[in-house]
Amino acid sequence: MKKEAVIKHFGGVVKVASALKIDHSAVSQWGENVPQLRAFEIERITNGALKADFTPNQDHA
């Protein structure tokens, strides 16, 4: 899940932070991709409008 898509969906960093009940500075610290656990939380609170798109890492099998 791309951070840019999440911010666009919610209408800003502050609104993302409010929806997740975290500080906006935490959202600002995310890289290009939303951290995995947050992505699943966002998928849940958006009722699937945004999808967590993680696949298992095959390098560590």
Query: What per-residue confidence (pLDDT) applies to 56?
Result: 64
pLDDT tens digits, one per residue of 44-55: 999 999 999 877
Provide the whole-model pTM: 0.84
Backbone angles phi, psi at 29, to 5 degrees: -80, -15
CA 45, CA 49: separation in Å to the nearest integer?
9
Q: Indicate the fold that domain 3-49 takes in CATH.
A: 434 Repressor (Amino-terminal Domain) (1.10.260)
pLDDT at 54: 76
What is the 8-class DSSP label of residue 60? G
pLDDT digit string, tens, across residues 13-50: 999 999 999 999 999 999 999 999 999 999 999 999 99
Helices (H), 1-61: 3-10, 13-20, 24-28, 36-45
Over residues 1-17, the mean pLDDT reads 97
60 contacts 53 by C-beta, under 8 angstroms: no
